[in-house]
Structure 1
Amino acid sequence: MPKYFEGKEESNRPCAALREDLKQCLLESPCVKIDKKTPRECLQPNTRIDQDCRELSQAFFECKRSLLDMRTRFRGRKTQY
């Protein structure tokens, strides 16, 4: 279920909702606010981000990976949520 993406216009890009949710979650994490790291640095292992952000990161990875999977030619792209 999209948490941060609600109320925004839909994008034609694949995985756009997950990307937006992950971006907002990382920007609100203690890693960015307190430690003053970039969101990219916060995605590294052993950093202080919420479990929700970790799960969004994994879901975004799975969505992007499904774009390259040749089996999706027959099955169709996975839904975003």
Structure 2
Amino acid sequence: MAKSCKGLAMELVKCLSESHCIKVEKKSYKECAGQKSPSVPEKCVGLRETYYMCKHNQVDMTARIRGNKGY
């Protein structure tokens, strides 16, 4: 795991572990992170999307090939 996304991943795990989905429904982290239900707080959903974009931007080579825009 890249270091730049590690903090987001840890925050997501912490948020999910405190959610109703993990504590009461006894589902796995993968199941809770993948669903959009009332048992998963909006904060966790936002962290999940931010983490996804972090990982996506590390893999996406478009900006590296074309260079930075606006310079």
For normalisation by structure 2, the TM-score amounts to: 0.79
**Which structure carries more helix by proportion?**
2
Q: Which residue of the partner structure matches residue 9 of structure 2?
A: 19
Q: For residue 13 of structure 2, what is the amino acid of its counterpart?
A: K
Q: Distance in 2 between matches of 1:68 and 1:50?
A: 28
Q: For residue 34 of structure 1, what is the amino acid of its counterpart?
A: V
Q: Which residue of the partner structure matches residue 29 of structure 2?
A: 39
Give identity over the alignment, percent.
Answer: 31
3-state DSSP of counterpart to 1:36:
coil
- How many residues are treated as equivalent by the alignment? 64
Q: Which residue of the partner structure matches residue 49 of structure 1?
A: 40
Cα pair 2:8 2:51 within 8 Å, conserved = yes
Q: Deviations over 1:10-52 (max 9, x none)?
A: xx62301101100100000000001011111102224320000
Cα pair 2:22 2:32 within 8 Å, conserved = yes
1:63 maps to which of 54, 62, 65: 54
Q: Which runs of 5+ in 2 are unaligned?
A: none
For normalisation by structure 1, the TM-score amounts to: 0.70
Q: Which runs of 5+ in 1 are unaligned?
A: 1-11, 76-81
